Amino acid sequence: MNEKTKTGLLILQVALLLGVSTDVLLRSDYPGLNMLLLTGGTATAMAMLFTRRLPEAVSANTWALLGAMVFFGAMFVWRSSPQLVAFDVLTIVAIFAVLALPAFRIKLATAGVSHYAMGFFSSALHAFFGPLLLLLDDIKWPDLPKKGWSRTVFSVIRGLLIATPLVLIFGALFVAADASFEGLVNRVFNLNINFETIVSHIVVTSILSWLIAGYLRGALNEPFVGVQPATSVVPKPETISEIIPSPISVTEIPSEEPQRKTEPASEAETKKQRDWQDYDNSVLPRGLTLDSVEIGVVLGLVDLLFLAFVVIQLPYLFGGMELVQNTPDFKLAEFARRGFGELVVVAVLVLPILLGSHWLLRKDSPLALKLFRVLGTVQIGLLFVIMASAVQRILLLTGNLGYGMTIQRFYPLVFITWLSIVFVWFGVTVMRGARKHFAWGALWSALALLGALHVFNPDAFIARHNIELMKQGREFDAHYNRTLSPDAVPALVEGLPFMTRDQQCSLRRAIIHLGRAEDIRGWNWSRRTAAELGAENAAELEALACSEFSDHY
């Protein structure tokens, strides 16, 4: 049994185990402890597979990513904010994509943004189609042991894999079609079998195992190359006698010229493997690259546009709320909402433009590189002013004279904060000739910021901010704040004494009737704390003379 077959069989076993575990753990009303168990088990399985089957891919960076996966899995047990849950899921998916890069012989610490995109699409492609290669090519089924008990075991397993789905599907149909047959089945097994649930488990487990096996196959085998190793030129000892020909005459001795012709062929054979790590714009026609004139025109015009916008924005940056209020027919909400989203999009677009133009620079043009550094630095400086304008707009909207903080206003501020870090890192790496370190640092800055958000607790901050504005005489939107996640309940309970009866009534249902998850798989510290606070304040809140309208709306 060769190594590929052993690896394939090991992948199948791990995929089946993780498929069953995922199906069981995720059948809960809430994400919580189940996600920690799932990510921990997956990280352990991947660590085992990497160390046993792809040891050259194991490094400190690999362990760091696996640790980050478990960390964000643990965050499901701590926070219950839907936004944080969504970010945690996306982060874990991104880590899976990055962990697929060593199969391309790409070092994690020097992978680029395009490498990350390649890892994501490669992982998705292998998840869907990789099991076909695993089952039809990687595993050499004829090489499996076929003697004694092992042959019987493999035959039984294959038979069960084929027969079980058929028996369950037809059995479910027969049970649904005839009550007498249903009674017979219940009497035989002496339990109330829900065939629909069983079939659901089998289907979901099969799909999950298929996807997991495909991903693991792609992470452990180099993609886009032949699956068969190159044939060795050294003959096997037992075949030497068959290969050595009979003595030949002098006239049959091949000349040296044909031997020299075979050397380039062998050299080309060794170059078949793509260099995914260090590819540059040399593969493009010269007309698609950028010289000093092109880069000067492109970045120069963009810089002039940015400069014109910044000049217009300077009065608002220094004038603040007073200028907005004194400008005729100019409302605060219009000022903030009209420009904030557009300015965020501008900030997002600048990064790929700078990365793309830097990659397209001609290597034989030092002037082009100098112009890029100068004009790019100017553009980043102007962009920071534009981002400051965007931040000011949202701070005015949510400040003392504004309308309060919401989730839709909070997370764009976080995103702009991350962009600021990324652009500083861009200047430290790309602008100084260390582009290969940019993506790795940007990735870890995102992971660090997301981890800090869990400590910061956005929903509780939003609730406390709005309560503080209420204490200063601003209107408190109890209806909106009751829609926040259980993470905000401690802050809302602290603010109850400062609220009117109507506001307390609006929050009553959200606080009292926040149920504790009965399923241990969905256990979460935030939901449990909120439920305990609801129970402690239930008597006081129930004593309020609230209308039915307040409870439901």
> How many Cα atoms within 13 Å fall on the side-chain side of residue 335?
26
- CA 463-465-466 angle, to 5 degrees, is 65
Q: Token digits for 216?
A: 């693991």
d(CA 315, CA 324): 10
Alpha-carbon distances, residue 37 vs 209, 249, 518 (angstroms):
17, 73, 18
DSSP string, 185-253: HHHHHTS---HHHHHHHHHHHHHHHHHHHHHHHHHHS-TTS-SSPPPPSSPPGGGHHHHSPPP--GGGS
Instruction: Please give the pLDDT value at position 222.
Output: 63
d(CA 339, CA 248): 87
Query: Which 8-state DSSP code applies to residue 80?
Result: -
Of 422, 397, 418, the residue nearest 409 (C-alpha):
397
Of 264, 223, 81, the residue nearest 138 (C-alpha):
223
Instruction: Please give the pLDDT value at position 396.
Output: 79
d(CA 412, CA 465): 17
Instruction: Please give the pLDDT value at position 194.
Output: 65
d(CA 11, CA 45): 10
**pLDDT tens, N- to C-terminus, the chain (553 residues):** 678 888 888 899 899 999 999 999 998 888 999 999 999 999 999 999 999 888 888 899 999 999 999 999 999 999 999 999 999 999 999 999 999 998 888 899 999 898 999 999 999 999 999 898 888 888 887 777 666 555 666 667 667 767 777 777 777 777 777 777 777 777 666 555 566 777 788 889 999 999 999 999 999 876 544 444 433 344 444 444 444 444 444 444 444 444 444 444 444 444 445 566 777 777 778 888 888 898 999 999 999 999 998 887 777 665 555 555 555 444 555 555 556 777 788 888 899 999 999 999 988 889 999 999 999 999 999 999 888 888 887 887 787 777 889 998 899 899 999 999 999 999 999 999 899 999 999 999 999 999 999 999 999 999 999 999 999 888 899 999 999 999 999 999 999 999 988 888 888 877 876 655 567 888 999 999 998 888 888 888 888 767 655 555 4
CB 149 within 8 A of CB 239: no
d(CA 493, CA 504): 10
- Entry pTM: 0.81
Token pair 């097994």 is at which residue?
189
Query: Which 8-state DSSP code applies to residue 520?
Result: G
Q: Token digits for 74?
A: 């643990």
